[in-house]
């Protein structure tokens, strides 16, 4: 009953449409504000704090709020820290390319060549299942695989391909790259498969009927239509790889130091200001990468 009585218009100065629009807007803001408040308090504010603290004064075991650029100067003049920036960028680029190269053919097969919906879903689920194992367990699982007494060395020796175990497999940059590629590949396969699955098969058939080779069809139809998927996948992979530290900590034997590892070790020794500087540098890099990617693809449209 109440619903009926409240709907009666009480003012005549505004049109019902205007009133309704105003009411809708007020409702939207009311519904949205708890979430936005949460994000502001617990994401924006901590990030602002990182920037602020990067200008604090670092003493041996604590920081105080006297503003200085000393931490920045030390960071930017240290070969170790600059090396970490370079390592982070290098590993990010290699892993990004590796996930595209490894993942694209798989997405091509699942998204375009498998036309049976059940099989398609089954294959996608098979790709996602490892995601259900704890991230840290998936990282550590590479140790018995790549170690000098690990599975790969054992198999290669049994087959007589090598006589001595390969030592570069584990506790090297190689193991970090392999581990990251395996862990993040799924985030590339998913979006590309999604975009390929949306291609109207009759377009490809038409091109084939008109005499186009598979190379031409791939170059002119499949690749352009799948590019948004590659971009979305690249954003996922980039964001995750750039903020990584656990894989490097577990598989590189402390030889590979990413910016994330610098932050963790600095916090461990209570050098909050240095950790904050590394954090700001990482933020700048990630912002640049995302900004570049968003320039190439409209995320809101693709979702």
Partner 1 sequence: MESRILRPTLALYTVLFLLFLYGPMIVLTILSFQSADGGPQFPIREWSVYWYEHLLGFAETSRVSQLPVGDSLLRSIVLAFMTTVVSTVLGVMSAEAFRTRFKGSGPAFYLIILGMMVPGVLVGLGMALLSNTLGIARAWWGTSFVLHVVYTYPFAFLVMLAIFNRFDRTVEEASLSLGVSPAQTFRRVTFPIIFPGVLSAMLFSFTLSYDEFARTLFTAGRDLTLPLAIYGTFSVEIYPNIFAFGVLTTLFSFTLLVIYGLLMKRFTSKASRYSGQEDA
Residues in 60-89 at the binding interface with partner 1, rule: CB under 8 A: none
Reading the block at residue 75, the tokens are: 């960071």
Which of these, 150, 154, 129, lies nearest to 141 by C-alpha position?
Answer: 150
Rounded to the nearest 5 degrees, what angle is found at the Cα of 136, between the Cα atoms of 145 and 50? 135
Which residue of 257, 263, 271, 274 would you call a contact of partner 1, by CB under 8 A? 263
* 95 vs 263, beta carbon nearer partner 1: 263
Q: Which residues, including other chains, have CB under 8 Å from residue 277's CB and lie 6 or more apart?
A: 54, 71, 72, 75
**In the range 223-262, which residues lie near partner 1 by CB under 8 A?**
235, 239-240, 242-243, 245-246, 249-250, 260
* 49 vs 93, beta carbon nearer partner 1: 49
* 64 vs 69, beta carbon nearer partner 1: 64
**In the range 167-206, which residues lie near partner 1 by CB under 8 A?**
182, 185-186
How far apart are the C-alpha atoms of 125 and 121, rounded to whole Å?
A: 6
Is residue 127 involved in binding partner 1 (CB under 8 A)?
Answer: yes
Q: How far is CA 270 from CA 120, 250, 275, in A?
A: 50, 22, 9
How far apart are the C-alpha atoms of 170 and 24, rounded to whole Å?
A: 58
How far apart are the C-alpha atoms of 293 and 296, rounded to whole Å?
A: 5
* 93 vs 299, beta carbon nearer partner 1: 299
**In the range 96-125, which residues lie near partner 1 by CB under 8 A?**
102, 105-106, 108-110, 113, 123
Site string for partner 1, 10-29 (x = CB under 8 A): --------------xx-xxx
Residues 232/299, Cβ–Cβ less than 8 Å: yes
**In the range 140-159, which residues lie near partner 1 by CB under 8 A?**
140-145, 147, 149-151, 154
């Amino acid at each position: 009953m109440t619903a009926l009585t409240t709907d009666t218009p009480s003012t005549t100065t505004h049109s019902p449409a205007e009133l309704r629009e105003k009411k809708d807007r007020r409702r939207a803001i009311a519904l949205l504000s708890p979430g936005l408040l949460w994000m502001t308090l617990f994401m924006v504010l901590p990030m602002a704090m990182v920037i602020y603290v990067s200008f604090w004064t670092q003493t041996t075991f604590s920081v105080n709020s006297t503003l200085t650029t000393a931490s920045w100067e030390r960071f930017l003049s240290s070969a170790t820290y600059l090396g970490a920036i370079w390592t982070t960028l290098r590993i990010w680029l290699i892993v990004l390319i590796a996930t595209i190269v490894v993942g694209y053919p798989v997405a091509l097969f699942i998204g375009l060549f498998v036309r049976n919906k059940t099989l398609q879903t089954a294959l996608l689920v098979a790709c996602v299942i490892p995601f259900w194992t704890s991230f840290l367990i998936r990282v550590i699982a590479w140790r018995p695989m790549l170690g000098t007494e690990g599975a790969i060395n054992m198999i290669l020796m049994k087959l007589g391909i090598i006589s001595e175990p390969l030592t570069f497999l584990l506790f090297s940059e190689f193991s970090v790259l392999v581990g990251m590629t395996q862990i993040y590949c799924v985030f590339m396969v998913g979006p590309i498969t999604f975009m390929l699955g949306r291609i109207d098969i009759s377009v490809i058939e038409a091109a084939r009927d008109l005499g186009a080779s598979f190379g031409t069809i791939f170059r002119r139809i499949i690749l352009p239509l799948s590019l948004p998927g590659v971009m979305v996948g690249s954003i996922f992979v980039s964001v995750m790889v750039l903020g990584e530290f656990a894989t490097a900590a577990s598989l590189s034997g402390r030889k590979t130091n990413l910016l994330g590892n610098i932050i963790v070790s600095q916090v461990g020794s209570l050098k909050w200001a240095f950790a904050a500087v590394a954090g700001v540098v990482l933020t700048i890099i990630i912002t640049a990468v995302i900004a570049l990617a968003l320039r190439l693809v409209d995320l809101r449209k693709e979702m």
